[in-house]
Amino acid sequence: MTSGLEPYADSVLIITVDNGKEFAGHEKVAEALDTDVYFTHPYASWERGTNENTNGLLRLYSPRSGSLTM
């Protein structure tokens, strides 16, 4: 599952995620990338700054109904 993450190990310093069940395997990801995983407080999405900033920029320049595939 995590073998596809190794090419990114040098690029990832930390990972900050919310408390969703999709991050249940965070230990395996942290081990594969040799990094730390931090969880935000519930209902505090601003603690995931880069992600929320990117989402805001996408919404600014691309309508929600549009596709983001390349």
Give the per-residue pLDDT at 58.
Answer: 79
Give the Cα separation of 45 and 67 in Å (integer).
24
Q: Are 13 and 34 a contacting pair, CB within 8 Å?
A: no
Provide the residue range defining the domain that includes 56: 3-61
Residue 25, in any domain of the structure:
yes
Per residue in 27-50, pLDDT (tens digit) is: 998 988 889 998 888 877 677 777
Per residue in 7-32, pLDDT (tens digit) is: 888 888 888 887 888 888 899 989 88
Lowest mean pLDDT among 32-36, 50-54, 56-60: 50-54
User: In the chain, how many domains are there?
Assistant: 1
Residue 21, in any domain of the structure:
yes
Residue indicated by tokens 């929320």: 52
Give the per-residue pLDDT at 36.
Answer: 92
Q: How far is CA 28 from CA 55, 57, 60, 67, 68, in A?
A: 26, 30, 34, 31, 28
Residue 70, in any domain of the structure:
no
Residue 69, in any domain of the structure:
no
Higher pLDDT, 2 or 53: 53
Exposed, middle or buried, 33 (CB in 10 Å: 0-12/13-18/19+)? buried
Give the per-residue pLDDT at 13.
Answer: 84
